[in-house]
Amino acid sequence: MIGPASRPRLAPKVRFRFDKRSGKHMLLYPERGLELTAQAARIAELCAEQLTVAAMVERLVSEHPGVPHARIEADVLTFLRQLDDRGLLAETGT
């Protein structure tokens, strides 16, 4: 289970790209794709930086002044756990 100490990264089979047609970022993986909201796309981007979830949350808090820390953390964990359930995250070692 992904927690604050995890260092999630996208599984090797996953490609993160921008889709001109929809104006959204997507995660593509074998036979499937996932359209991301702007917020989710930012989290997916941070997965490339080898950060802990806690560090990702700090980064997002600094990017969104005024949004409560707890809410950002909950959003990040929810999204990452959804990705993990779909097998889209590589092993995190935690």
Partner 1 sequence: MTAASTIGAPRPYTLVAELTYRCPLSCAYCSNPLELARHASELDTATWQRVLGEAESLGILQVNLTGGEPLVRDDLEALVVTARAHDLYTNLITSGIPFDRARLGRLRAAGLDSLQLSVQDTDAQGSAWISGRDCLDAKLEVAAAARAVGLPLTLNVVLHRGNIARVPAFIALAERLGAERLELANTQYLGWALVNRDALLPTQAALSEARTVADAARERLRGKIEILFVRPDYYADRPRACMEGWARRYVVVTPDGQALPCHQATSINGLRFENVKDRSLAEIWNASEAFTAFRGDDWMPAPCRTCDEREIDFGGCRCQAFALLGDAAATDPACSLSPRHDVIEAARLRATDVRAERPLQLRRFRLES
Residues that bind partner 1 (CB under 8 A): 11-13, 15, 17, 19, 21, 26, 28-31, 33, 84-87, 89, 91
Q: Does residue 54 contact residue 5 with C-beta atoms inside 8 Å?
A: yes
- Min dist CB 84 to partner 1, Å, is 5
Q: Which CB, 31 or 62, lies closer to partner 1?
A: 31
Question: CA–CA separation, 66 vs 92, rounded Å?
Answer: 30
Q: Which CB, 28 or 55, lies closer to partner 1?
A: 28
Question: CA–CA separation, 31 vs 83, rounded Å?
Answer: 16
- Min dist CB 13 to partner 1, Å, is 4
Question: CA–CA separation, 58 vs 60, rounded Å?
Answer: 5
